[in-house]
Amino acid sequence: MKRIVTIQDISCVGKCSLTVALPIISAMGVETAILPTAVLSTHTMFSGFTVKDLQDQIEPISAHWKKEGIDFDAIYTGYLASAEQIDLVKDFFDTFGEKDTLLFVDPAMADNGKLYVGFPDDFPKAMASLCAKADIIVPNLTEACLMTGVEYKTEYDVEYIREVLRKLAALGTKKAVVLTGVTAEQNKTGVSGLNVETGEFFGFSHEKLDRNYHGTGDVFSSATVGALERGKSLEEALRIAARFTVASIRETMENDPDKTYGVDFEAVIPGLIADLK
């Protein structure tokens, strides 16, 4: 069985980051180790949340794992709370990134043209330096624009998407840069990527549901990592993840349309597993 480690916060309530990655990737038949960077009572869109930073645990935990000879087929990072945490994660990549270890970075920090609450304006620069060390990155358009300096637009054409992808590749990512939640088609959404090794663009559009929920990026990234580790090609893994994310949103719209936090992905995990066959 493949073993990955995912490095992000644990928001106790909110269905994002580790409470999404752990169940989804495990259910896909991939051992999922975790390195929690902080414990929050909820994700940061609630008011009055508590935070306990755990970054001083990253080095001792890593040292113990190294001593035990533990290794990973992939390292998947999501929400990271500070530039210092990013530096510690870069060291973790250097320590545990073997030749065949997939380094997958979801630079979860912004959406709808804005950084999430609590991040300083220079945070995207630090995140860009982590993306430079990764094999695959999966920013949304806001995150991509903040890291590359391209102007964020809500209406655009294929050439704009390609320009953003070329600028992302110039950050230094090794294998592929992937933009999520983008398409030049009306009333749809989609995924657009650039294979950095071959210079080829790829992508697909899919159904856009008329609702925005929190944590869908984490659902998408987790399913992508799980599918990659189950041997799917990147494009197939992204398609599986997109179908799962759409199914999770549809499920939430049916059960609890006004939900203010993460999607009801739990109910549609059987479909995700079937999709891996």
Binding residues (CB under 6 A) for ligand PXL: these are 9, 11, 16-17, 40, 43-45, 78-79, 108, 116, 215, 217-218
What amino acid is encoded at 193 in this protein?
A: G
Tell me which residue has its CB nearest to ligand PXL. Answer: 44
Residue 31 CB, nearest approach to ligand PXL (Å): 22
User: If we measure between CA atoms, which residue out of 27, 175, 170 comes closest to residue 97?
Assistant: 175
Report the C-alpha gap between 194 and 216 in whole angstroms. 22
Q: Which is nearer to ligand PXL, 47 or 186 (CB)?
A: 47
Residue 37 CB, nearest approach to ligand PXL (Å): 9
Q: Which is nearer to ligand PXL, 28 or 40 (CB)?
A: 40
Q: Are 81 and 53 in contact (CB under 8 A)?
A: yes
Report the C-alpha gap between 234 and 249 in whole angstroms. 22
Residue 123 CB, nearest approach to ligand PXL (Å): 13
Radius of gyration of the chain (CA): 17
Q: Which is nearer to ligand PXL, 48 or 199 (CB)?
A: 48
Report the C-alpha gap between 75 and 69 in whole angstroms. 16
Residue 1 CB, nearest approach to ligand PXL (Å): 26
Residue 163 CB, nearest approach to ligand PXL (Å): 26
Q: Which is nearer to ligand PXL, 141 or 169 (CB)?
A: 141
Residue 92 CB, nearest approach to ligand PXL (Å): 18
Residue 233 CB, nearest approach to ligand PXL (Å): 25
Q: Which is nearer to ligand PXL, 110 or 240 (CB)?
A: 110
Q: Are 139 and 78 in contact (CB under 8 A)?
A: no
Would you call 106 helix, strand, or coil by DSSP? coil
Would you call 128 helix, strand, or coil by DSSP? helix
What amino acid is encoded at 6 in this protein?
A: T
Q: Which is nearer to ligand PXL, 97 or 217 (CB)?
A: 217
Residue 226 CB, nearest approach to ligand PXL (Å): 17
Q: Which is nearer to ligand PXL, 2 or 85 (CB)?
A: 85
Q: Which is nearer to ligand PXL, 192 or 221 (CB)?
A: 221
DSSP designation for 184: S
Q: Are 171 and 136 in contact (CB under 8 A)?
A: no
User: If we measure between CA atoms, which residue out of 55, 130, 136 comes closest to residue 93?
Assistant: 130
User: If we measure between CA atoms, which residue out of 100, 124, 234 comes closest to residue 180?
Assistant: 234
User: If we measure between CA atoms, which residue out of 134, 208, 201, 203 comes closest to residue 172?
Assistant: 134
